[in-house]
């Protein structure tokens, strides 16, 4: 039997989680990220830039808890703060639930795409007890809305840019993604990419992809 090169992944329809429920591998979840208002335009245009280090090592820090995201950036003037609403494809998830966990900063090197700190797990560095996530690859994160911004005019302008960036104003977005056929009216067009093996155009949210010979 001839061997077929296969790139596959399970369905990633969004699943809402209860507080403290572990995110399931390969699913897509709504999360939030707080940052300086001055960073907003660059994030919308070019995507996130991973932190070089942090509690969980390098990556993009996000949370399913919007109140957690509202605390960032730390010690910033609230007029210079913004919270993005995101769709995050978590991939393979590692739970980090203790201080000095052996994979606390090396989870990616051990085959994981993201890591998750459960709420109220007792880690000393997270005094609020709110859950936290770290995603290695920014391509797994899509900005879908501006959740919080004190400047209403600026928020309206940025939301318009988010929608324009992800194609929610064009026919393709209204009809759904051309690759995975999911409804994109609320999330914006999906980031269509080239398969690393066969270069065929694929959507990271489609159920599976079989490489061309």
Two tokens at 149? 């911004």
The CA angle 192-197-201, to the nearest 5 degrees, is 25
Task: Please indicate whether residue 12 or residue 138 has the higher confidence score (pLDDT).
Answer: 138
pLDDT of residue 203: 79
Per-residue pLDDT at 177 exceeds 80:
no
Task: Please indicate whether residue 202 or residue 91 has the higher confidence score (pLDDT).
Answer: 91
Pick from 22-31, 135-144, 166-175, 176-185: least confident: 166-175
Convert 1-21 to b/e letters by CB count within 10 Å (16 or more is b). eeeeeeeeeeebeeeeeeeee
Mean pLDDT computed over every residue of the chain: 82
For the chain, domains (ranges, CATH) are 12-175 (3.90.228)
Tell me the average pLDDT across 160-182.
64
């Amino acid at each position: 039997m001839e061997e077929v090169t296969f790139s596959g992944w399970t369905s990633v329809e969004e699943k809402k989680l209860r507080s403290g429920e572990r995110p399931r591998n390969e699913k897509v979840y709504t999360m939030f990220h707080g940052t300086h208002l001055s960073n907003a335009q660059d994030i919308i245009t070019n995507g996130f830039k991973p932190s070089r280090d942090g509690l969980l090592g390098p990556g993009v820090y996000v949370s399913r808890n919007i109140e957690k995201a509202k605390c960032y950036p730390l010690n910033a003037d609230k007029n210079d703060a913004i919270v993005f609403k995101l769709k995050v494809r978590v991939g393979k998830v590692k739970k980090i639930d203790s201080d000095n966990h052996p994979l606390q900063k090396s989870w990616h090197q051990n085959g994981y795409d993201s890591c998750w700190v459960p709420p109220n797990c007792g880690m000393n560095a997270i005094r609020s007890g709110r859950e936290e996530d770290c995603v290695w690859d920014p391509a797994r994160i899509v900005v879908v809305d501006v959740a919080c911004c004190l400047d209403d005019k600026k928020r309206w302008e940025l939301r318009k840019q988010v929608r324009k960036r992800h194609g929610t104003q064009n026919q393709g977005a209204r009809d759904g993604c051309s690759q995975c056929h999911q409804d994109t009216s609320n999330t914006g067009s999906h980031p269509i990419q080239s398969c690393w093996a066969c270069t065929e155009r694929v959507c990271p949210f489609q159920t599976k992809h079989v490489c061309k010979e």
